[in-house]
Amino acid sequence: MVIDFNEMLDAYKRILKIPSMSAKGTGINEAASFLKALLKNMGIKSEIIQTSGNPVVYGEYFTGAPKTLLVYNHYDVQPIDPENEWTHEPFAASEDHGRIYARGAADNKGTLMARIFGIEKALENNELHVNLKFLYEGEEEIGSPNLKEFIVKNKDRFAADDVIMEGSQVGEENRPVIALGVKGLLYVELKSRTGTTDLHSSLAAIAPSPAWNLINALDSVYDNNKVEIPGFYDNITPLSNNDLNILKDYPFNIERMKSSYGLKNFMFDDKERIIKELFTSPTCNIAGIISGYAGEGAKTVLPAEAKAKVDFRLVPDQDPEIIFDSMKDYLRKMGFDLEMNPLGMEYPVRTAPDTELAQKMISSAIKTYGRKPIIMLNSPGTQPMDLFTRELGIKNAVSAIGVGDNISKAHAPDESVSIENFRLAIEHTKNFLSEFQ
Amino acid sequence: MVIDFNEMLDAYKRILKIPSMSAKGTGINEAASFLKALLKNMGIKSEIIQTSGNPVVYGEYFTGAPKTLLVYNHYDVQPIDPENEWTHEPFAASEDHGRIYARGAADNKGTLMARIFGIEKALENNELHVNLKFLYEGEEEIGSPNLKEFIVKNKDRFAADDVIMEGSQVGEENRPVIALGVKGLLYVELKSRTGTTDLHSSLAAIAPSPAWNLINALDSVYDNNKVEIPGFYDNITPLSNNDLNILKDYPFNIERMKSSYGLKNFMFDDKERIIKELFTSPTCNIAGIISGYAGEGAKTVLPAEAKAKVDFRLVPDQDPEIIFDSMKDYLRKMGFDLEMNPLGMEYPVRTAPDTELAQKMISSAIKTYGRKPIIMLNSPGTQPMDLFTRELGIKNAVSAIGVGDNISKAHAPDESVSIENFRLAIEHTKNFLSEFQ
């Protein structure tokens, strides 16, 4: 099968017309079947594998090369509400001023399809020097509830040396973004409960306060911009010179970002410091805290319960399990009587800039886009890359070759992708594969 | 006018039938007129004085004695919702098994009327040795929004040496409660705002966190059960031997109170310590705190705002204004950028147990009830007694001669008063006046 760009665009529109909203349960099997057939038509062995949730589309193409690359994408999309705010039908895939409008155009069907066609071109030119495996998930937009179980059950099938994750986009100045990893996450819910009911606050003289218990405990965890949990900073990998150079190159306009985030100030004035902290510092954030009366005016109540949600973003090689245990021990030893539940744990991933995967992703981006990519040592946020690196033992992972840009509105009405970016992502995939081995 | 107990009971029922709910604006003028006429019939000069809100009923009776006693009560009552939970009509004042059921029976018309009839009896027996002034307010149940302004405007009219406040009741073992004062209050709302909108929590590496700002500030205010505001404990009056004896006599059953409050534990195991803290320690309580996401599951958000409400209960002679200023200075010097608003300030009051007012209230209680009263150095809660002691310069204040008991359900459906307690309160008033000079 050899097809031209218009046919690629047409196939892209066809999958966009399938309303594969995992939250609604619509179009799931249709999208999976579409992908299975598409791979098969390219000569790629493909199958639909049932999971405890929506099916996974699996594909594999063996060249006999020593290295295997796993390509991860998802075929499910976000729901379309608020539906009446769409000016283009969400599942019509209509073209307008050089863009294609549809739910999932950017997140993640555009990237998925561009990669497929880039691979097809590489195959056509005999420029594929690795084995390929494909994992197309159908539950990413509802939090991938069954992915870990599925991957663990199918370790051998998904064994690979490197992985290209979903995510990434075309950023400022039309420079493609390459993220060499992700920060990890430890999300902890803390709860203090001292009684069965709120009391009159005059009893604060003799009744324990869950709110103070929680606040004093939290202050013991983080104060003066420093996490006080023993060992928290111990396993942080020092930055290499390559890492430092990548940080230096990162574009960041302080005034523009301040206004875009609605902030009066960042924590630091110095641009280099801001970039370094953003990508390489772990965080300890209060995502939420609640206790007692928070309405208008003065109510004098001694609350029976206080709750907080704390999220830590972790950098290599901090370990969320070890940090959680250490936090529990630390607060217990200090005498705080708290319930502590880990609501999320993800390991940080950072692929060294001098690996073949990173190098070739960067050089092929320069070749394709004619400009330097925006490289992130790791994204400041979290993605479950550790499923691949820890559960499958994959050595290197990047998020790259995204088709969205800063007006793509992923997850919002009128999601769209520039046709030119779709074309460039195909080229980037092809160029990457021609170099990567 | 000389009337017997049945006539007193009848008059009590008549005022209970007036639905003087300040929150609804019903029956206000009718209740005020009733009281003005009642005083007038007793030969007490009385008038209705307009305020910026509901009228005050003022009365005065001069004996030519050197000392003047002010009697404070309120004629307004709480609303009756939830109305369908009343098994006795709220404004029928029906009798049932020795109790009278009506909204306001305990809070505060019973006490108001019992005092009037006790005074009448004292007059009848020529046993009144002080001048009397009466202040019946009509907005207590909506927070006395106009009382301070009114009192300040009418300082001379209300000048007195001593005051009997509303409040108090018949407590455990049918022992009447006498509170020799109140704790003061400082209620502060703290707000930290760093941006215009909640952000993705990955930005916690570079964007300031209002929640941490607030939590770290609060921890600086209170830690290890100690308030860290400079000077906070400086002006606390040491306890006298009389004070200590009163504390020793206070009945407190730890197990019963634990279960009544729904608490696993008090902050202290020792009964003497519990009583001492309850009445003589200032408190610093988190009445409420809120920031970010507090629902189910894990949401990774960096909140734009965090708010807390802190209430301090103060003991003599802590000054809420000085403490508020000191708190502001302290937190600012530590570098916390917070909005701080005082939502309430009341001064603590404690009348010495060896004053004539306290002594005679106690001895007449023993004579009337045949048992020792339950004496509180001050209530653990707050009442605006400081309006009288600070604005009017009244030296001594007590809350005593209450008619409610522990099943009276003030503010709730089926509020009621035991007829025997109504009778005893009349006797207590009479006996007190016969001794007090």
- According to DSSP, residue B234 is labeled T
Which chain A residues are within 8 Å of B207, Cβ to Cβ? 261, 263, 266-267
| Closest to B303 in 3D by CA, of B392, B223, B196 | B196
Same domain? B172 vs B102: yes
Q: What is the CATH number of the domain that holds A286?
A: 3.30.70.360
At A2 the pLDDT is 63
From the candidates B286, B313, B339, which should be mutated to test the interface with A, based on the most A CB atoms within 10 A? Answer: B286
Q: Residues B256, B297: one domain?
A: no
Distance of alpha carbon A73 from alpha carbon A420, whole angstroms: 21
Which stretches of B198-343 are DSSP H helices? 210-221, 241-249, 254-261, 271-280, 320-333
| CATH label of the domain that carries residue B367 | 3.40.630.10
| pLDDT tens string B334-343 | 999 999 999 9
Model confidence pLDDT, tens digit, residues A182-238: 999 999 999 999 989 999 999 999 999 999 999 999 999 999 899 999 999 999 999
Alpha-carbon span B394 to B201, nearest angstrom: 56
pLDDT, averaged in runs of 10, over chain B (437 residues)? 87 98 96 98 96 97 97 96 94 98 97 97 96 97 93 95 94 95 97 93 96 98 96 97 96 94 94 98 98 90 96 97 98 97 96 97 98 96 92 96 95 96 98 97
pLDDT for A3: 82
User: What distance in Å separates the CA atoms of residue A211 and residue A8, rounded to the nearest whole number?
Assistant: 59
A210 and A164 belong to one structural domain: no
Q: Report the range of poorest mean pLDDT among A385-394, A414-423, B1-10, B67-76.
A: B1-10
Q: Is the ipTM of this complex over 0.85?
A: yes
What is the structure's pLDDT at B298? 86
Contacts of B290 in chain A (CB under 8 A): 289-291, 294
- Nearest CA to CA, how far is A362 from chain B (Å)? 24
B270 and B292 belong to one structural domain: no
Domain ranges, residue A213: 185-236+282-345
| Domain C-terminal end among A250, A274, A298 | A274
Interface test with B, best of A202, A222, A269 (most B CBs within 10 A): A202
Q: Are residues B292 and B191 in the same domain?
A: yes
Specify whether A308 is located in the same domain as A227. Answer: yes
Residues A92 and A124 in one domain: yes
Answer yes or no: do B214 and B324 share one domain.
yes
Any idea which residue has 């886009």 for tokens? A369
> What is the Cβ-side half-sphere exposure of residue A252, based on CA atoms within 13 angstroms?
23
Q: Which of A296, A324, A345 delimits the end of a domain?
A: A345
In tens, the pLDDT along B119-155 reads 999 999 999 999 999 999 999 999 899 999 999 999 9
Residues of chain A with C-beta less than 8 angstroms from the C-beta of B197? 261-262
Which of the listed residues A297, A322, A345 is the one where a domain comes to its end? A345
pLDDT value of residue A303: 96
Q: Is residue B421 a contact partner of residue B92, using CB atoms and an 8 Å limit?
A: no
Per the structure, how many domains does chain B have? 3
Shortest Cα distance, chain B CAs vs residue A190, angstroms: 11
| Residue B331 and residue B310 share a domain | yes
Which pLDDT band, with edges at 50, 70 and 90, does A383 fall under?
Answer: confident
A201 and A256 assigned to the same domain:
no
Kindly tell me if the per-residue pLDDT of A1 is higher than 80: no
Q: What is the pLDDT of residue B2?
A: 63
pLDDT at B1: 55
Q: What is the mean pLDDT of residues A332-351?
A: 96
Residues of B in contact with A284 (CB under 8 A): 204
* Closest-CA residue to A257 (of A246, A267, A245): A267
Identify whether residues A244 and A365 lie together within a single domain.
no
- Is A261's CB within 8 Å of B199's CB? yes
Residues 6+ apart with CB under 8 A from A376: A177, A178, A179, A180, A246, A250, A279
Quote the mean pLDDT of chain A.
96
Residues B53 and B175 in one domain: yes
